[in-house]
């Protein structure tokens, strides 16, 4: 393989890697704690797998809009599973306050949590969790996103 070809291949590899990072198709193996929460951008969709009964995926968004916001977080569960949202607030002392599981019942439904009065600069967290120990999948993805209102 020529040097040019090698460099080309390496560049394609890097491009694919950064694409998969930003498209964030497979979130396997990450996001298991607030430290590794996937930072969200406005307008972004994320998908991932809850790939075993103990897996959780954390996400976060910092209010970069300059004004106080109401944030609607959504979770689309794969049809054959039931995942839930748990909303998490980081407190001033660094501890975390978590909501109850947000669940709209039957499989495939859209779960929704509303964060009220989120100040500029404040970071909200939410995590995707299995509803029961039987809800996980290595082949069916969930989708999560948020809107401001
Ligand atoms: Ca995870
Ligand atoms: Ca649910």
User: Is 106 part of any domain?
Assistant: yes
Residue 20 has pLDDT above 50, yes or no: no
User: Is 18 part of any domain?
Assistant: no
Arithmetic mean of pLDDT over the chain: 83
Domain span at residue 142 reads 26-148
In the three-class reduction of DSSP (H, G, I as helix; E, B as strand; rest coil), residue 26 is classed as coil
Q: What is the pTM of this model?
A: 0.77
Residue 138 Ramachandran class (φ > 0 left, ψ -120 to 50 alpha, else beta): alpha
The structure tokens listed for 100 are 């109850």
What is the mean pLDDT of the segment spanning 27-40? 79
Ligand nearest to the CA of residue 38, numbered in listed order = 1
- For 112-138, the pLDDT digits (tens) are 999 999 999 999 999 999 999 999 999
Distance 54 CA to ligand 2 centre (A): 16
State the sign of the Cα–Cα–Cα–Cα dihedral 147, 65, 83, 80. Answer: positive
Residue 108 has pLDDT above 90, yes or no: no
Distance 103 CA to ligand 1 centre (A): 19
User: Tell me, what CATH number does 137's domain have?
Assistant: 2.60.120.380
DSSP state of 120: T
Q: How confident is the model at residue 12 (pLDDT cuts 50, 70, 90)?
A: very low
In total, how many domains does the chain have? 1
Distance 111 CA to ligand 2 centre (A): 6
């Amino acid at each position: 393989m020529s040097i040019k070809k090698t460099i080309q291949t390496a560049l394609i590899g890097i491009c694919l890697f950064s694409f998969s990072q930003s498209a964030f198709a497979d979130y396997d193996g990450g996001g298991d704690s607030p430290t590794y929460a996937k930072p969200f951008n406005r307008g972004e969709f994320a998908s991932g797998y809850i790939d075993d009964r103990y897996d959780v995926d954390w996400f976060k968004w910092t209010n970069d809009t300059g004004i106080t916001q109401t944030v609607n977080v959504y979770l689309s569960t794969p049809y054959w599973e039931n995942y839930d949202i748990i909303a998490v607030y980081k407190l001033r002392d660094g501890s975390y306050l978590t909501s109850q599981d947000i669940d709209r019942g039957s499989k495939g439904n859209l779960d929704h949590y509303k964060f009220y009065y989120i100040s500029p600069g404040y970071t909200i967290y939410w995590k995707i969790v299995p509803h029961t120990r039987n809800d996980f999948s290595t082949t069916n993805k969930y989708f999560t996103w948020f809107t401001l209102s």
